[in-house]
Amino acid sequence: MSTTRFCRLIDMLERTWRRRQARGRAGMPVKGPWPMPVAEAVEAVVVKHAEAHPAWGHRKVWAMARFDGHRVSPATVLRIMRRRGLLPEAAYQRERRQLAAARKAAFVTPPSGANEVYRLAILDRRAWG
């Protein structure tokens, strides 16, 4: 099959096919890498916050980067954290829910009045030491 016919079949310009073919033969990536000026500018800040608080997800790290005065999108923060391997595992939400269920189970009878939770915590602290 001719190159022209093949390119028509896959709906690609022949010039594009030839360029990709040449790059592949030269050992270069066929597409990319593209410049990421915003990601490179804020990567240090994102990594600093993500390493300081490993339980934080990309939204919290994004908020802290914005608080520091950097204009960055949540998707960029997510890409940086994913590339560096700084995202928490998906199971951390399950662990948080289990801990919350254990805290909720501590109150067999739910508090009925104001400051009752605080009062129970103080009484419990006095009982334990």
CA 33 vs. chain centroid, Å, equals 21
Tell me the C-alpha distance between 30 and 23, whole Å. Answer: 6
Q: What is the pLDDT of residue 119?
A: 56
Give tens-digit pLDDT for 32-87: 888 899 899 999 999 999 999 988 899 999 999 999 999 999 999 999 999 999 98
Give 28-65 as a 3 state SS string: CCCCCCCCCHHHHHHHHHHHHHHHHCCCCCHHHHHHHH
Q: Is the pTM of this model over 0.85?
A: no
Q: What is the pLDDT of residue 4?
A: 92
Q: What is the pLDDT of residue 74?
A: 96
Closest CA to 88 of 126, 59, 129: 59
**Lowest-confidence pick of 27-36, 84-93, 98-107:** 98-107
Q: Exposed, middle or buried: residue 49 (CB in 10 Å: 0-12, 13-18, 19+)?
A: buried
Give tens-digit pLDDT for 18-28: 999 999 999 99
The DSSP call for residue 89 is P
Closest CA to 20 of 9, 6, 31, 33: 31
